[in-house]
A = this chain, B = another copy of it.
Amino acid sequence: MEEVKVSKAVISRLPRYYRYLEELLNNGVERISSQELSEMMHVTASQIRQDLNHFGGFGQQGYGYRVENLHDEIGKILGIDRITHLILIGAGNLGQALANYTNYRRRGFCIEAIFDKDPAKIGTEVYKIPVRDINELETYIAEHPVDIATITIPKEQAVLVADRLVKAGVKAIWNFAHTDLAVPEDVAVENVHLSESLMHLSYKLKAREEEKKR
């Protein structure tokens, strides 16, 4: 699979395919046609065939896709066929919410430490994950594998912590702070800007209201 070149647009759709395939797999479904998948996912069957044909030979005319095979191949492409070590920066509500997403564990995502600067939180546990002193961040990273650091602290501190993470060698940041982080090219960043998502919903709501008035 290493040689496959897939467009960004297709890649961005893979996690959603994976989610549906996982559900089918859990429900014991062995194969599915692009037409059935199309109805479930509200995507055209031709879009599905175009997207999934990148991975060659899974869809067979009159037979459909083998669910487990496709699920596993997409999992490999997404890098979730292995253990990914996560740390969380910030033991606030959002950090705690993320720590509690146990379903990530079955995809190999393991949150192994949470860092905070609040003395009242340091030394406690959040869903059995120890909360450590943010001052120990560099020492921890030097001694433990850390694939992804999740940032859930206010933006001013987030920028400083991101710099520390990069210097300590972390190569992927899942950023929930309301800011865009400036990191070197070889560091992957995925932003979850909740306020932007809410503004986008606000726009859709308003657009529908105006549509109605006409």
Using a CB–CB distance below 8 Å, which chain A residues touch chain B?
A: 2, 11-12, 14-16, 18-19, 41-42, 77-80, 84, 92-94, 96-101, 103-104, 107, 109, 147-148, 171-172, 174, 178, 180, 186, 188-190, 192-210, 212
Q: Which residues of B contact A208 (CB under 8 A)?
A: 171, 186, 188
Closest chain B residue, CB of each to CB of A2: B210
Copies of this chain, tallied across the complex: 2
Contact B195 A192 (CB under 8 A): no
Contact of A103 among B94, B195, B205, B206 (CB under 8 A): B195
Shortest A43–chain B CB gap in Å is 10
Are A199 and B93 closer than 8 Å at their CB atoms? no
Specify which chain B residues have a CB less than 8 angstroms from the CB of A41 in the assembled complex: 180
Residue of B nearest to A188 (CB): B204
CB distance from A76 to the nearest CB of B (A): 9
10 interchain pairs, CB-CB under 8 A: A15-B200, A42-B180, A77-B206, A93-B96, A96-B97, A148-B198, A148-B201, A148-B205, A171-B208, A189-B201
Chain B: CB-nearest residue to A187? B208
Measured CA separation A114–B180 after assembly (Å): 30
Cβ of B19 and Cβ of A196 under 8 Å apart? yes
Give chain B nearest CB distance to A95 CB in angstroms.
8
